[in-house]
Amino acid sequence: MLNDQEKFTILRILDNKNGITSQRALADELGFSLGKLNYCLKALKHKGLIKFDNFKKNKKKTRYFYILTPAGISTKTRMTVNFMKRKMKEYDELKNELKKLK
């Protein structure tokens, strides 16, 4: 099962790479096995968040082109906003705790 943190991380990295990478390089960057990454990419594709295909002229077929769909961009944006809200709340809570300790 693909959790929200994994989904967000994959979408963020794919967006930052302008869609071009190998699955092995992506798996290494994420700390995933190739099998886990393949499962995650298929799940994101099934949910309509990404589209991908390999380069037709590449003999080894190791390079893929990944595109975030409009739904993928929307999901990534929503997850980014939620992440920032959560971190801002944590910051405010820590700041209040420090005030109480003084």
The model's pLDDT over 53-69, given as tens digits with 9 standing for 90+, comes to 766 665 655 567 888 89
Measured between alpha carbons, how far is 36 from 18 in angstroms, rounded to an integer? 22
Predicted local confidence at residue 4, as pLDDT: 87
Cβ-based neighbours of 17, under 8 Å, separated by 6 or more: 26, 66
Q: Which CATH code, of 1.10.10.10, 1.10.8.60, 1.10.15.40, 3.40.50.10090, is assigned to 4-101?
A: 1.10.10.10
Spell out, as residue ranges, where the chain has pLDDT lower than 70: 19, 54-63
